[in-house]
Structure 1
Amino acid sequence: MVAQSSSRLVSQRIVESWPGDRLPTRPRQPSPTTVTRPPDFLRNRLSANGLTTIRWDMLKDVCGCRDAGIGAIGLWQPKVLEFGEERTAELLHDASLKVSSVSWAGGFTGTNGQAFREAVWEAGETIRLAGAVGADCVVVVSGSRAGHTLNHARRLLLEALRELTDVAEDAGVDLALQPMNSMFADWTFLTRLDDAVDMLALVNHPRLKLAFDTYHLWQEPNLLEQLPDLVPLIGVVQVSDWRDPPRSRHDRVLPGDGIIPLAPILETLIGAGYQRHFDLQVWSDELWQGDYLQLLRRGRQQFESLLPRLPSAVNPLG
């Protein structure tokens, strides 16, 4: 049976000794009135995206998450298709891993040379896959303007989202629309936070949310003041840090290693009631060449060091 085989593989890999020592986190002393979060908090809320471990396959991703103490995973669809959708679902079930997101659907403007109807159909298949593996959401990237006027590009995205939110409702998953920094304008014409929020308002469907990526949005004006109102709209928070200066578009660093003020961003999100996953998504030509298990362990430890220290009686995440 596939499930039994997957379970044995997971168990075998988890008990193996992985290379790489744990690196020390930055010292942070809680005040006498606060406590350190229990391990279950991270296992329940932190996920590791398959793009962070781009050279690993699906099985290694799952085993790496388990060994690094990370209880959820953000699926990169090509790995799922290579491993097999049914086998992936069984593997995730056997490993007791939650799925924060599936990446990506989109390209509705013809960015990848696809016709509009083809892109919508493929997005529908991605949504159905996400439902089959129990994912919280599918990350949606609109596509660039691709020679269209901005108004026409918006109309194409609006038409696609209105159709796909009904598909998402049937599948029991959310769509998380992702705005990106303007250096990624060839990925999406939504290069400001307000652009994406306006699109959510136009579609006006409870299944359409926002993918909030700290790397793309940390430079937004008055971000901390906006966050409490945005929390009900956010389907997933993607976490990485900004090297100063970036050497390429794939030069992210782990949380705490860059210049993004992540601690107040995370504190504001959690204080405003954000209850979904924080997806570790680090695109880095440099880190992609290294030890992935060490990368995940460091990512978990450094993410934990940035979390607010709240009194033990306070549990905003439930």
Structure 2
Amino acid sequence: MHERISAGETSFPGASLAELGDAWRTLAPSRISFVSPTLLDHDLAAVRKLIDAGGYRVETITHPFMPGQPLSHDEASWLAPRARLSRLIDIAQQIGARSIYLLSGGHGGLDWEDAAAAFCACIAPCATQARSAGIALAIEPASPLHADLHIAHSLRDTVQLAEMAGLDVCIDYFACWTEAGLRATIERAAARCAIVQVSDYAYGDRAYPCRAVPGDGAIPLRRLLEWTLAAGYDGAFDLELIGPRIDREGRVAAVARAAQVVGTMLHELGA
């Protein structure tokens, strides 16, 4: 597997630590990523044992910062999510994770600018903590179908929110590949890009989750990879493969094939 490819836990939803360990031993990545409940709700010693056994670098952690909770200017509503993220930052530092990327919290009844201001105020102490710990704290674009969880539904809005909050960016090609002016937005994002997520979309899929193995769909991945590398991004590319297509093929087989396709593209592009 190409050294810059990360095999993410997001591709193995519901897997136990033992099942993750088996998958990663088969795939042999140098970089892996976690979902935050695995780290927050399990024995950290077992997680560290898994990491050490494979000699993995923990590239990133995905975290639903305020799951199902709308953004609000009520500071009391921030306390529990902020405390949980603070604990995750400590854990990330302990296991050597490079970044955490998150969803902001839902729109609720606020307009975008007001919701963004609430998010910036809410996240500020955690942003300071993450910088001190050497952890990139990032936000990603997500479909409007996740409006109960997030307010940034394009890469442009994600970069704007990150700039407002003093955070980094996760570029998810699946969520942004159809945007106008995408190359310019990738160039704008590159200086604060912490992680890039790679998957594909097949025309005709209408229900989430509906990701496809890179190369099986319509996303012009080689072009997006080329733009991202040309913009100066030198980090990892995390595979996030979920949905019926992945389940039918088998998760390990799908990730292995994705790693081969993306790795070939990266080699050809000189990465």
Q: Same fold (TM over 0.5)?
A: yes
Partner AA of 1:203 in structure 2: A
User: How far apart are the structure 1 equivalents of 2:268 and 2:163?
Assistant: 34
Q: What SS is found at the alignment partner of 1:73? A: strand
Residues 53 and 288 in structure 1, CA contact (< 8 A), matched pair in contact too: no
Deviation at 1:152, TM superposition (A): 3.0
Deviation at 1:289, TM superposition (A): 5.4
Go from structure 1 to structure 2 and tell me whether the alpha carbon gap of 1:290 and 1:77 turns closer, same or farther (over 3 Å shift).
farther
User: How far apart are the structure 2 equivalents of 1:149 and 1:166?
Assistant: 26
How big is each residue's C-alpha offset from its partner over 1:248-298, in whole Å with a ceiling of 9 and x where there is no partner? 110110111110000011112123321111000012134235522212211
Deviation at 1:108, TM superposition (A): 8.0
1:85 aligns with 44
2:99 aligns with 137
Partner AA of 2:199 in structure 1: S
* Corresponding residue to 1:184 among 146, 170, 180: 146
Deviation at 1:94, TM superposition (A): 2.5
Go from structure 1 to structure 2 and tell me whether the alpha carbon gap of 1:149 and 1:230 turns closer, same or farther (over 3 Å shift).
closer
Q: How does 1:168-179 map to 2 (within 5 A)?
A: 168-179=130-141
Residues 40 and 88 in structure 2, CA contact (< 8 A), matched pair in contact too: no
Partner AA of 2:86 in structure 1: G
Asked whether 1:282 is paired with 2:244, we answer no
1:66 aligns with 25
1:56 aligns with 15
Q: What SS is found at the alignment partner of 2:10? A: coil
Identity %: 22
Go from structure 1 to structure 2 and tell me whether the alpha carbon gap of 1:91 and 1:108 turns closer, same or farther (over 3 Å shift).
closer
User: How far apart are the structure 2 equivalents of 1:230 and 1:149?
Assistant: 24
Deviation at 1:59, TM superposition (A): 2.9
Residues 54 and 288 in structure 1, CA contact (< 8 A), matched pair in contact too: no
TM-score in terms of structure 2 length: 0.89
Unaligned 5+ segments in structure 2 are: none
Partner AA of 2:122 in structure 1: A
Unaligned 5+ segments in structure 1 are: 1-38
How many pairs align?
A: 268
1:156 aligns with 118
Residues 109 and 156 in structure 1, CA contact (< 8 A), matched pair in contact too: no
Q: What SS is found at the alignment partner of 2:61? A: strand
Deviation at 1:238, TM superposition (A): 0.6
1:297 aligns with 256
Q: How does 1:301-316 map to 2 (within 5 A)?
A: 301-307=260-266, 309-310=268-269
Deviation at 1:77, TM superposition (A): 2.0
1:226 aligns with 185
User: How far apart are the structure 2 equivalents of 1:257 and 1:194?
Assistant: 26
Partner AA of 1:91 in structure 2: L
Q: What SS is found at the alignment partner of 1:212? A: strand
Deviation at 1:51, TM superposition (A): 1.7
Partner AA of 2:265 in structure 1: L
Deviation at 1:155, TM superposition (A): 1.9
Q: Which is worse superposed, 185-194 or 272-281?
A: 185-194
Cα-Cα RMSD: 2.4
Deviation at 1:225, TM superposition (A): 3.4
Go from structure 1 to structure 2 and tell me whether the alpha carbon gap of 1:224 and 1:152 turns closer, same or farther (over 3 Å shift).
closer
* Corresponding residue to 1:210 among 159, 162, 169: 169
Deviation at 1:168, TM superposition (A): 0.5
Residues 176 and 209 in structure 1, CA contact (< 8 A), matched pair in contact too: yes
User: How far apart are the structure 2 equivalents of 1:106 and 1:139?
Assistant: 9
Q: What SS is found at the alignment partner of 1:115? A: helix
User: How far apart are the structure 2 equivalents of 1:112 and 1:253?
Assistant: 32
User: How far apart are the structure 1 equivalents of 2:169 and 2:185?
Assistant: 14
Q: What SS is found at the alignment partner of 1:244? A: coil
Q: Which has the larger radius of gyration?
A: 1
Deviation at 1:65, TM superposition (A): 2.3
Partner AA of 1:104 in structure 2: H
Question: 4+ residue runs of structure 1 moved beyond 6 angstroms?
Answer: none
Deviation at 1:61, TM superposition (A): 1.8
Partner AA of 1:66 in structure 2: R
Residues 231 and 274 in structure 1, CA contact (< 8 A), matched pair in contact too: yes
User: How far apart are the structure 2 equivalents of 1:110 and 1:187?
Assistant: 7
User: How far apart are the structure 2 equivalents of 1:264 and 1:308?
Assistant: 14
Partner AA of 1:158 in structure 2: C
Q: What SS is found at the alignment partner of 2:168? A: strand
Partner AA of 1:56 in structure 2: A
1:258 aligns with 217
